[in-house]
Chains A and B, each alone.
Chain A
Amino acid sequence: MHNMAFPNPFRTTSNSGDQSNENPSPYVPLLNSGRDPSRAPSKRRRPSRVVILLLAGMLAVALLVAVALNYKGNGESAANRLEKIVPAVARGVTEGVSAKSFVPLLGALKYYWTNKMLAWQRSAYHFQPKKNWMNGPVFYKGWYHFFYQYNPYGAVWGNIVWGHAVSMDLIHWRHLPIAMVPDQWYDINGVWTGSATILPDGQLVMLYTGSTNELVQVQNLAYPADPSDPLLTNWIKYSGNPVLVPPPGIHYKDFRDPTTAWLTPEGKWRFTIGSKVNKTGISLVYDTEDFKSYQLLDGVLHGVPRTGMWECVDFYPVSKVQENGLDTSDNGPGVKHVLKTSLDDDRNDYYALGTYDSSTAKWTPDNPIIDVGIGLRYDYGIFYASKTFYDQDKKRRVLWGWIKETDSENTDIQKGWSSLQAIPRTIRLDKETGSNLVLWPVEEVDKLRLKKKVFDKVEAKAGSVVPLDVGSATQLDIVVEFDLDKKALESINGTNTTYSCNANGGAAERGALGPFGLLVLTDNDQVEQTPIYFYISKDIQGNFSTFFCADHSRSSKAPDVDKAIYGSTVPVLKGEKLSMRVLVDHSIVESFGQGGRTCITSRIYPTTAVGDDARLFLFNNATDAGITASLQIWQMSSAYVQ
């Protein structure tokens, strides 16, 4: 039986009534729903025209290699060296383009988008298929596999199938045929996000969410048709699908994105899946021995009130002592567990560090003030539906995020594509602070570096802009270290005003000790400019807080692109220099502060700062402090997807 709690007979749910008040009855699928599985999906909404890319990252998957576990009780106390981390909250701007973000320029052009501008936006070394949401990155028989959610028919989310691409190095990708299409009654309305689990014998199983003919979200099992095919080209759906339907108390539209499974001390497989009850986001837990029949555990792995639906939940261990990543089943005293969710509500990916008790199947945050969904984020810019997997080949945990467009749909249709993937990032626990993760581009991206230019100890006095002559400024890898005027730091009076990247005035608002940083994708006259910067504030007691921000308010003259300012505080420990790394790739820029403690992904759509007219500057808009910067800047080659 698929789900032990629901024997025959079959009946449907009712779907009337207010969603939030409903106490959903258990869903049981219709018998003989009349679907002929061999029949092609009957819905072809519109003829496929220009194929348009849309990326949505519902990233799910981890590669799991079963390892014998030595499970011991958890005796550790949470590390207590907490920085005062202020969770950044996007001020009223959802991740779409808000009408409020227009800054119509005086007497400006009315029709911005020339083909040249649009063609320039396409990235050179980011994964950019047609439409994609991420599904299940996994490493199998020497290849990295990327299964992504794809809409073959349009530039927006819809008609979801599983696209497929492979790579040997996470950077150079090769497209393969579509892996799965909605051709069964249990996924006819969408083959949505799934996760891969690798069993001890090397077998790979995929659990994925399907949207049924009655629009119910169910979980289905699929596996490679030919496990000896390293390219995993063809897939088989288990004849007994769905293996899971929404349990009692869970709405049939709030049950999606199962995680990779991990081993329990009893030797069963366990996974978690996000949902919500009223406005409380939760993650349910199931145990299984064969991935075909499951036991729903009591309670939840964890829940946080007022966070709404938890999508793309991810749950994995990180080592407190080692630098390498950990297999998803690892546990023990040297291990902390990360619980991550994508919040439907504000389109951001949140994580928290905590402790997992495998005997109760519960996870507890180290610091409830920055619990899941209300605290730290993987990335403070445009970054969603991300997922990690364990790369057992290089013993690292790799994170991938989906980066959408922040321009108008009209432009996306014009340019013929929409959204892409961030460069994969390794994830590990920050051993110095103990209270956050560090994310860093995978080392393979360094292979794209061409010639390097070094700028040693460039001075930028208070209120100055220094051009950096690097030639083309559209495909760059920039590493910078800053030295601050120590006298200024000490002598400046603290204030009790608060600062935040998105509530203050961006790079134009001058403080005593900031902002300073880089101007990327900036034209010669700095009319179009995107500052990526640090801002240091000092309080009355003389304590410093450092902010890492990206300011898009003047990134483009076009009125129909996102102009928000993103960022957050970044922990800086005594004796550390301020540093940032910035990957520039046409319309996507990924910025990493303090070794990846705080990350910001930006989408930038200039009208003049494109091609040869894009420049790079160092700037210092502080009023009272000079800075000295040392930079290494590489041109980056392209990594065309075949």
Chain B
Amino acid sequence: MMLMFNLYGIPQEKDQNLIETTCRNTPNYQLCISTLSANPGSINTDVTGLGLIMVDAVKTKAKETSNAIKKLKGSQPELRNALSDCAGRYNAILEADVPEAVEALIKGDPKFAEDGMADSSLEAVVCEESFKQVTSPLTVLNNAVRDLSDVARAIIRILL
């Protein structure tokens, strides 16, 4: 069992157990652990709270990707079509999927949060696929959004 020290000193074993148990139920244990541990709010919260932290991580990474898309549009015009498609998809993630997931988790109807994260993963994958015949400049970011969404979805599943 990995002992992790949070910013505030002594690890709480109950909290650590919850994080570990939760992450073991996700498809990417390492990513789950590292993302949750990086957020001090992951101590002393419940599964819903952990889910919200992961959804927030999706949001942050999606914003980063969205900004990257905007920059690329200017500098690589030959990728314009794919980038347009991706822009729409990341708009869906940021304007629909993430808010839906947050509201659903807060209000206690987690299946809509799961739907939101399922779609978020989908949008990232399809964006990546839209670069089929050229090298995608967004692979690392798309994969990150996909992986974080998949982990978030798995955490939310626990609540159902």
Instruction: With a 10 A CB-CB cut-off, give which of B89, B92, B112 has the most chain A CB atoms.
Output: B92
Least distance between A409 CB and chain B CB atoms (Å): 4
Stretch at the interface among B1-9, B45-53, B66-74: B45-53
Contact A410 B91 (CB under 8 A): yes
A559 with B96, Cβ < 8 A, contacts A18-B47, A309-B160 known = no
Given known pairs A17-B46, A18-B47, A19-B46, the reply for A215 and B122 (CB within 8 Å) is no
Shortest Cβ distance from residue B74 to the other chain A in the assembled complex, whole angstroms? 20
Structural contact, B119 and A344, CB atoms closer than 8 A: no
**Which of A90-98, A580-588, A630-638 is found at the contact surface with chain B?**
A90-98
Which residues in B have their C-beta under 8 angstroms from that of A110?
A: 81-82, 85, 129-130, 132
Contact of A410 among B82, B89, B100, B106 (CB under 8 A): B89
Is residue B11 within 8 Å, beta carbon to beta carbon, of the partner chain?
no
Are A154's CB and B99's CB within 8 A? yes
In the bound complex, what is the Cα–Cα distance between A414 and B114 (angstroms)?
Answer: 22
Contact of A217 among B85, B108, B112, B159 (CB under 8 A): B108
Point out the residues of chain A lying under 8 angstroms from B18, CB to CB. Answer: 18
A44 shortest CB reach to chain B, Å: 13
> A97-B122, A309-B160 given as contacts; is B46 within 8 A of A18 (CB)?
yes
The answer to whether A560 touches B108, judged by C-beta atoms less than 8 angstroms apart, is no
- With A99-B125, A408-B119, A560-B126 in contact, is A211–B92 under 8 Å at CB? no
Assembly CA distance A472 to B88 (angstroms):
33
Contact call B100/A408, Cβ cutoff below 8 A: no
* A102 touches B (CB below 8 Å): yes
CB distance from A103 to the nearest CB of B (A): 11
**When chains A and B are docked, how far (Å) is the Cα of A413 from the Cα of B95?**
10
In contact, B160 and A409 (Cβ under 8 angstroms): no
Interchain CB contact under 8 A, B146 and A409:
no
A237 part of interface (Cβ distance < 8 Å):
no
Interface residues of B in 102-126 (CB under 8 A from A): 103-104, 106-112, 114-116, 118-119, 121-123, 125-126
Q: Does A83 contact B (CB under 8 A)?
A: no
Q: Say whether B96 contacts A156, CB under 8 Å.
A: yes
In the bound complex, residues from chain A placing their C-beta under 8 Å from that of B47 are 18-20
User: Which residues on the A side are within 8 Å of B119 (C-beta)?
Assistant: 96-97, 408-409
Contact (Cβ within 8 A) B106 A215: yes
**Identity of the chain A residue whose Cβ is nearest the Cβ of B150 in the assembled complex:** A99
B45 touches A16 (CB 8 A): yes
Give which listed residue, A111, A190, A344, contacts B81 with CB less than 8 A: A111
The number of chain A residues with a CB under 8 A from chain B is 46
Contact with B along A107-142 (1 / 0, CB 8 A): 100110000000000000000000000000000000
With A96-B115, A309-B160, A345-B160 as known contacts, state yes or no: A408 contacts B132, CB within 8 Å. no
> Residues 131-160 of chain B: 1 if any A CB is under 8 Å from the residue's CB, otherwise 0?
010000000000000100010000000011
CB of A45 closer than 8 Å to a CB of B:
yes
What does the 1/0 interface line of A17-56 toward B look like (CB < 8 Å)?
A: 1111000000000000000000000000110000000001
How many chain-B residues does the 8 Å CB contact rule pick out?
Answer: 45
Is B92 within 8 A of A410, CB to CB?
Answer: yes
Residues of B within 8 A of A154 (CB): 95-96, 99-100
How far is the CB of B14 from the nearest CB of chain A, in Å?
9
Q: In whole angstroms, what is the CA distance A254 to B108 when docked?
A: 8
Given A18-B18, A18-B46, also A409-B107 (CB < 8 A): no
Query: Would you call A189 an interface residue if the criterion is a C-beta within 8 Å of the partner chain's C-beta atoms?
Result: yes
Q: Is A143 an interface residue (CB 8 A)?
A: no
A344 to B156, CA, bound (A): 12
A111, B108: Cβ atoms under 8 Å?
Answer: no
In the bound complex, residues from chain B placing their C-beta under 8 Å from that of A559 are 126, 129
Q: Assess the B123–A408 pair: CB atoms within 8 A.
A: yes
B-facing mask of A325-353, CB < 8 A → 1, else 0?
A: 00000000000000000001101000000
Q: Which of B93, B103, B110, B146 has a CB less than 8 Å from the CB of A158?
A: B103
- Residues of B near A317 (CB, < 8 A) are none
A56 partner residues in chain B, CB cutoff 8 A: 112
For window 47-85 of B, CB contacts with A under 8 Å fall at 47-48, 81-82, 85
CB pair B46 A96 closer than 8 Å: no
Q: A19-B48, A344-B160, A560-B126 are in contact. Are A156 and B97 (CB under 8 A)?
A: yes
Smallest Cβ distance from B51 to chain A, in angstroms?
Answer: 11
Tell me the minimal C-beta distance from A255 to chain B in angstroms: 9
A264-290: CB near B (< 8 Å → 1, else 0) gives 000000000000000000000000000
Least Cβ distance of A282 to chain B in Å?
15
Q: Are A94 and B118 in contact (CB under 8 A)?
A: yes
Q: For residue A409, which residues in chain B have a CB less than 8 angstroms away from its CB?
A: 92-93, 96-97, 116, 119, 123
B84 and chain A: residue at smallest CB distance = A111
Q: Which of B26-44 contact A (CB under 8 A)?
A: 44
Q: Which residues of A contact B126 (CB under 8 A)?
A: 102, 408, 559-560
Would A408 and B108 be within 8 Å (CB), given that A309-B160, A344-B160 are in contact? Answer: no
* Cross-chain contact B99 with A19 (CB below 8 angstroms): no
- Contacts of A200 on B, CB cut-off 8 Å? none
Q: Which of A20, A158, A190, A412 is within 8 Å of B99, CB to CB? A: A158
Please determine whether B99 and A111 come into contact, CB atoms closer than 8 angstroms: no
- The reply to whether A253 and B108 form a contact with Cβ atoms under 8 Å apart is yes
Q: For the complex, what is the distance from the CA of A16 to the CA of B150, rounded to whole Å? A: 25
Q: When chains A and B are docked, how far (Å) is the Cα of A35 from the Cα of B150?
A: 39
Residue of B nearest to A217 (CB): B108
Taking the complex as formed, is A104 at the interface, i.e. its CB lies under 8 A from any CB of chain B? Answer: yes
Q: Which A238-271 residues have C-beta < 8 A from chain B?
A: 252-254
Alpha-carbon distance A559/B99, docked complex (angstroms):
24
How far is B114's CA from A98's CA once the two chains are assembled, in angstroms? 11
A157: CB under 8 A from chain B? Answer: yes
Q: Which residues does chain A contribute within 8 Å of B88, judged by CB atoms?
A: 410, 413-414
Check if A155 is an interface residue, CB within 8 A of chain B: yes
24 intermolecular pairs with C-beta atoms under 8 Å apart: A18-B18, A19-B159, A20-B47, A46-B95, A102-B126, A110-B129, A156-B115, A157-B103, A157-B104, A158-B104, A158-B112, A159-B103, A189-B107, A252-B108, A253-B109, A254-B108, A344-B110, A408-B92, A409-B92, A409-B119, A410-B91, A410-B123, A413-B95, A560-B122
Chain B interface (Cβ within 8 Å of chain A)? 18, 44-48, 81-82, 85, 88-89, 91-93, 95-97, 99-100, 103-104, 106-112, 114-116, 118-119, 121-123, 125-126, 129-130, 132, 146, 150, 159-160
- Can you add 6 more A-B contacts, CB < 8 Å, to A190-B107, A211-B108, A560-B123? A18-B47, A96-B119, A99-B146, A102-B125, A253-B107, A409-B97
